[in-house]
Amino acid sequence: MMFQVLIEEEAEREFAEVVDFYDEREPGVGQRFAQELRAFFKVVCNDPERFPLASRLTRKAKMPRPWPYSVYFVIKRETSEVVISAIWHGSRKPAELRRRLK
């Protein structure tokens, strides 16, 4: 079964912030990140259960190198959706992330 991606508001904001951050440092890198993240969403949607649980309902998928980010998501079988909760840099403090995980 193929799942559709739904991105929560906070994760959408994180996505935009990461793109802006990389583009400010070096033009085009943020757009490359965005393209690779969207492609990674497709990988996640093809087989979301292959990724480990980070909490009772939330799974964690690490992006391929060189990106130091993980995508946190919940699988909604009844609607065939993968709901992205966070796009999280590996060095950020986990307390905020724990608050958001389901």
Q: What is the pTM of this model?
A: 0.93
pLDDT confidence tier of residue 102, bands split at 50, 70 and 90: low
CA 45 to chain centre: 11
Pick from 25-29, 49-53, 94-98: least confident: 94-98
Q: Is a pLDDT exceeding 90 seen at residue 94? A: no
Set out the domains of the chain in order of their start, with CATH numbers: 4-100 (3.30.2310.20)
Helices (H), 26-84: 29-46
Q: What is the pLDDT of residues 3-39, one digit of tens each?
A: 999 999 999 999 999 999 999 999 999 999 999 999 9
**pLDDT higher than 80, residue 51:** yes
Confidence at residue 99, expressed as pLDDT on a 0 to 100 scale: 80
CA dist 25 → 45, 52, 91 (Å): 30, 32, 18
pLDDT value of position 98: 83
